[in-house]
Amino acid sequence: MRFNSPYFYLAFFLILNIFNFVDRNLLIAFAPQIKSEFNLTNVQWGLLTGVYFLFFYSVFGIFMGVLGDKFSRMKIAAAGVFLWSLMTAVTGIAKNFSHLIFARALIGVGESALTPNAISMLSDLFKQNQRGTASAIYYLGIPLGVGYGMLIAAFFGPIFGWRAVFIFLGLIGMGLGILTYFLFEPIRGQLDINFDKTSKPNSIKDILSMTKSALYNSKCLAFVIIGSIFLHIPLGAGNFEVLWAVNERGFTASSYNSLFGFLFIIGGTVGALAGGILSDRLSHYFKGGVMTFLVISYIILTPLTVSYRFISPDSYFFYFTLFFVSFNVTFFYGPVFAAVQELTPVKVRSTMVAIFILGVNIIGMGVGSFFTGYLVDYVFNDFSAPYTYSLVSVGLTGLIAIICYYLASFSYKEDLERVVGPN
């Protein structure tokens, strides 16, 4: 594999994204220890793992996306990798809740630089009918990162303690950030039909204007973003996954981290690849393209993911549905990110991905995380299984995503032709 090969870049960006999600989810993997050591309420935990991180991650994502459309995407990504890794190490020496908030916020700032610019560069390396698969492979960072993070917590946490794990992983990530800085950047828009190699970068004002115009003129793109926001609300609730398993399903933190990490690596990897490959190969059979593909897929997947919360761990079906919970988390990333890239003019793709990330994280995962903590503490606190009822209540908001993707299907092909031209 050559160092200028698209597959080298895809593999390297995947490695960065794995570290992205390892560092992001370590806090959740060590939830019982950290929540107990700092004496945090469920609302504080929801804010720490959700809003305090996601606000900075999402808001600064817009800034990083605009900078990526204006300047070097590779160097901006490199700076982000270095910053979030430094703050991961700083988390390991936190002395109070304020220190955790500070580190968590700056991890969000650093991580905000990677995906808008990496996804934009991948669209310059892979053709339109390969972008769903490429995006899906990049988003293997979720199952591999979350899974490895859980396994690292399960195996190394009891030996070295949670603080040492944070510090060690932070140091490795800082080295990756330095390496990223020296990689060459692919030519912007080189594989698009309307590619003009003589075009110059737009001003920041023009970038913002073109982004606004793209959103205004594409009903499909707007519904894709809105639908994905609602799909991320249940993902935000996942910050309480380990607490649910320990408090209401009889697991220890270590045993559930091992189980969830292992099955999430398998299920999440299969889900990401299946979503990307199947959408690239099957979407053209539907009038609504990739949107219809997602609607059909989630009608099948939703009952499995909801039933998981009510099944006893003594049943084999518990592990079967946990596989599909993991499958479900990553399934949509390939199709959705490919659609966002296809429906967006090439000169503002980093910015549009950043806007997408802003919506799905602040409104989606941020609401999901905070609202779950609120329901546990104040609504279902007298119930026998407050975490279960809270997680299911929040999880059902994902049904609205199916409706949005269905509405997006009506204008998908028309909006696509407006950007890339007729086939």
| pLDDT tens per residue across span 159-189 | 999 999 999 999 999 999 999 999 988 887 6
Q: What is the pTM assigned to this prediction?
A: 0.74
Does pLDDT of 385 surpass 70?
yes
Helix (H) or strand (E) holding 153: helix 141-160
- Distance CA(381)–CA(3), nearest Å, equals 55
Burial of 125 (0-12, 13-18, 19+ CB in 10 A): buried
When the pLDDT of each residue in the chain is averaged and rounded to a whole number, the result is 87
Greater confidence (296 vs 353) lies with 296
Angle at CA 325, nearest 5°, toward 12 and 378? 110
Helix (H) or strand (E) holding 420: helix 412-420
> What pLDDT does 220 receive?
92
> What pLDDT does 421 receive?
56
Per the structure block, which two tokens stand in for 422? 């007729």
Of 85-94, 309-318, 337-346, least confident by mean pLDDT is 337-346
> What pLDDT does 134 receive?
85
| Contact call for residues 283 and 71 (beta carbons, < 8 A) | no
The domain ranges of the chain are 6-186+204-420
> What pLDDT does 12 receive?
95
Does pLDDT of 392 surpass 90?
yes
> What pLDDT does 127 receive?
80
Does pLDDT of 75 surpass 90?
yes
> What pLDDT does 204 receive?
77
> What pLDDT does 16 receive?
97
Per the structure block, which two tokens stand in for 54? 């996601």
Q: Which CATH number fits domain 6-186+204-420: 3.40.47.10, 3.30.420.40, 1.20.1250.20, 3.40.1390.10?
A: 1.20.1250.20
What average pLDDT does the segment 223-234 reach?
A: 93
Short-list 73, 60, 68, CA closest to 180: 73
Of 87-96, 350-359, 375-384, least confident by mean pLDDT is 350-359
What average pLDDT does the segment 26-54 reach?
A: 87
Short-list 199, 231, 164, CA closest to 348: 199
> What pLDDT does 286 receive?
87
What average pLDDT does the segment 48-77 reach?
A: 85
